[in-house]
Structure 1
Amino acid sequence: MPATDDDLDETRGRNSKVNRLIETYELRGLGGELERLWTADESENRKSLRELATLFNRRLVQSAMEDVRMQSLDGEAENICRLLTDEHVASADRTRTRRRLERDGVDVDALEADFVSYQSIRTYLTTYRDASYTKNAESTNSVKETVQRLRSRITEVTESKLSRLAKRGELLPGDFRVIVDIRAVCENCGTQTGVIALIDDGGCDCQE
């Protein structure tokens, strides 16, 4: 979701859009939940800022539906939020969803204007709740050590196999140096990054 005027206002020091919406929609406890999910360890199902923005927008949809006493099935608010926000949703499906909400009394234009971006969530957590996320150094170091050991092991085994092939005459003699490059490809933007560098950077830049 692109940055909105509200997102820009927050960077200028005005009231947090997220904080305002929590009060307007009476989403008590959601601020603390967002902070816990963002600052949790990876092993505790930590959520990214984008995931938290999606969670927040779903709560807005659920609250808007409850305000007009709109009957819904389990998980329907989540699906409606997806239909309204996912750019890959067919326009006909989005239109049908909007019309259904409007028939039941939901002000869809106002609801969509209230949807937040991950930038808004980040501003709310870091500026208004003074929260911060620190990576588990022991965990990341352990992963890096494992990757480095595997890379060294693959290099050692490959060099040994090449040497044996050369001795049996199945490979032309010569000096070979094996280079093992373990890289990760971001499925969102296609960027390739060395795994160790990816861990040090805390992820791909496009996911900030």
Structure 2
Amino acid sequence: MTNRQDERPDNKVERVVRKYDLGDLGRELERRWTGEGRERQSLRDLAHYFNRRVLESAMDEAGVVTLQGELENIYELLTDDDVTEGARTQARNRLEREGIDVDELSSDFVSHYAIHTYLREYRDAEYEAGDDENQREKSVETIQRLTSRLSAVTRRNVENLRSTDRLDIGPVDVIADVQVVCQECGRQEDPIDLIERGGCRCHVDE
């Protein structure tokens, strides 16, 4: 009998789980997303949680000893847009001195889009929700599907040009970044973050 999981398309999250020997992390992500036995977590929270586990595994493999809270601080230095370049460079240099390839590590971090695709398409995860939440989830799925399509089309065209020597670039990855701009406050929001939060910060935080 063929294992259904073996018939599924290649998935980055699953590849990273195997690469870093993260065991049953996929099942844990599913429980956290569906709210099984706990408060449900957002896709962005799950992406950060996943990436911290990847960083932790890489540091453990390299024999890096950390103090309490240091792992979270290093992750923030590597990924937060508000971190100064100098602080980010110091964090990268420290990891590289420990024998960690930071470029490879960073390329293994995943987005919340990737987490959503993994949970819905790879693990067939679902959760019970009310009508309003169901509609929000359908909207997230539509945006995710179109964003994934845009990424796939862009990557295919770039790689076709690269393979025929019409474009001078190394191996590529593609990130499609769609933003929603609130005309009242001028904030730019990731659409999935916006939907999961239930509104712009200028309304929700009031």
Shift in alpha-carbon separation, 1:33–1:189, aligned structure 2, 3 A: farther
Shift in alpha-carbon separation, 1:205–1:122, aligned structure 2, 3 A: farther
Q: Deviations over 1:155-182 (max 9, x none)?
A: xxxxxxxxxxxxxxxxxxxxxxxxxxxx
Residue correspondence of structure 1 range 1-208 to structure 2 within 5 A = 14-40=9-35, 44-136=38-130, 190=182, 203-204=197-198
Q: 1: distance between equivalents of 2:11 and 2:115?
A: 9
Q: 1: distance between equivalents of 2:183 and 2:67?
A: 39
Given the two structures, how large is their TM-score scaled by the length of structure 2?
A: 0.60
Q: 1: distance between equivalents of 2:43 and 2:126?
A: 12
Tell me the secondary structure at the aligned position of residue 20 of structure 1.
helix
Task: Note if contact 2:42-2:196 (Cα within 8 Å) is conserved in structure 1.
Answer: no
Which is worse superposed, 130-139 or 32-41?
130-139
**CA shift for structure 1 position 76:** 1.6
Quick one: percent identity of the two aligned structures?
46
**CA shift for structure 1 position 137:** 6.0
Shift in alpha-carbon separation, 1:138–1:107, aligned structure 2, 3 A: closer
Given the two structures, how large is their TM-score scaled by the length of structure 1?
A: 0.59
Q: 1: distance between equivalents of 2:115 and 2:78?
A: 19
Shift in alpha-carbon separation, 1:95–1:74, aligned structure 2, 3 A: same
Unaligned stretches of 5+ residues in structure 1: 1-12, 141-187, 193-200
Q: 1: distance between equivalents of 2:92 and 2:40?
A: 32
The aligned amino acid for 1:69 is: G
**CA shift for structure 1 position 134:** 2.9
The aligned amino acid for 2:48 is: T
Q: How many residues align?
A: 138
Task: Note if contact 2:59-2:100 (Cα within 8 Å) is conserved in structure 1.
Answer: yes
Shift in alpha-carbon separation, 1:88–1:203, aligned structure 2, 3 A: closer
Q: Deviations over 1:79-109 (max 9, x none)?
A: 1111101111111000000000001111111
The aligned amino acid for 1:56 is: F
RMSD: 2.9
